Amino acid sequence: MLARKPTGRGASAIKYDLLTAMGSFALSQRRGSQLLVFRLLTLVTARYNWQRDHLAVGQREIARLWDVDERTVKREMAKLRGMGWLTLKRQGARGRVSEYGLSIERILEDTEPSWEAVGPDFVYRLSQEDEPTSNVVPLRAGEAAPKPDTSDGLEWSLAKALLHEEDAATYSSWIAALQREDRVGEHLTLIAPSRFHATYVVTHLKARILSACRDVDDTITNVMITA
């Protein structure tokens, strides 16, 4: 499924596909659910940072955008988190708004029944590169990856060495194939060999990867994994 970071070549198509999936799904729902999804769609279109997977908007601003009161905003955002469509990255505090990420994999899973209404080309585009449904089968079962080379001194090479030492089996199956794409300030971007691979790593291993990266370079605050 669509799990790549929606930036670079083809980014617009990826974004439009996700927004189309959300819109088509909303139109098939009852009014309450329909309105909730359209509210999120509007918020994402207006304020979501696709490159950083970052949504940081105050309740007052969201209330103005949605033409509702702040209590409604609080309730609707809680529903979206409960659905798994939004993930809380950092809780708001005095003088700082809450920060969210968009759970693209979960949104696509939930909206899949409505893809056919858009057309067979849409279904094909979002379904291609799917892997077996089990998310615990290693991509290179039985093949152990060698200990990573750290001679280049890059943060990702050093972090890979730590991850290999911690759990060689998981490293061989899911981490060894991740390649360093670039580093922009505090953000490190890694490339996975497939969308399924990227989705699995984001869901199950991203926290471990970020921790290892911070162990070797504490200026890293975020690791993006794309396909």
Percent of the chain scoring above 90 in pLDDT: 48
Whether residue 160 is found in the same domain as residue 67: no
Q: What is the CATH number of the domain that holds 26?
A: 1.10.10.10
Whether residue 69 is found in the same domain as residue 177: no
Asked, for residue 138, whether it belongs to a domain, the answer is no
Q: Are 206 and 225 in contact (CB under 8 A)?
A: yes
Whether residue 189 is found in the same domain as residue 120: no
Asked, for residue 34, whether it belongs to a domain, the answer is yes
Asked, for residue 140, whether it belongs to a domain, the answer is no
In this prediction, residue 11 has a pLDDT band, given cuts at 50, 70 and 90, of low
For the chain, what is the mean pLDDT? 85
Residue 147 predicted with pLDDT over 70: yes
* Residue ranges making up the domain that contains 166: 155-226
Whether residue 64 is found in the same domain as residue 114: yes
Whether residue 113 is found in the same domain as residue 18: yes
Asked, for residue 66, whether it belongs to a domain, the answer is yes
Most confident of 93-107, 135-149, 171-185: 171-185
In this prediction, residue 5 has a pLDDT band, given cuts at 50, 70 and 90, of low
Cα 184 to Cα 4, 49, 51, 224, distances in angstroms: 18, 15, 11, 11
Q: Helix (H, G, I), strand (E, B), or coil: what is residue 143? A: coil
pTM (2 d.p.): 0.54
Whether residue 108 is found in the same domain as residue 167: no
Whether residue 23 is found in the same domain as residue 104: yes
Residue 3 predicted with pLDDT over 80: no
Overall number of domains in the chain = 2
Tell me the backbone φ, ψ of residue 182, rounded to 5 degrees: -160, 175
Cα 11 to Cα 1, 16, 148, 226, distances in angstroms: 15, 9, 32, 12
Whether residue 26 is found in the same domain as residue 105: yes
Residue 148 predicted with pLDDT over 90: no
Q: What is the CATH number of the domain that holds 194?
A: 3.30.300.180
Residue 129 predicted with pLDDT over 80: no
In this prediction, residue 135 has a pLDDT band, given cuts at 50, 70 and 90, of very low
Q: Helix (H, G, I), strand (E, B), or coil: what is residue 51? A: coil
Task: Look at residues 88, 108, 127 and tell me which one is the last residue of a structural domain.
Answer: 127
Whether residue 46 is found in the same domain as residue 97: yes
224 against 93, higher pLDDT:
224
| Span 25-65, pLDDT tens digits | 999 999 989 999 999 999 999 999 988 889 999 999 999 99
Asked, for residue 6, whether it belongs to a domain, the answer is no
Residue 141 predicted with pLDDT over 80: no
Average pLDDT over residues 139-161: 76
Whether residue 41 is found in the same domain as residue 106: yes
Average pLDDT over residues 174-190: 93
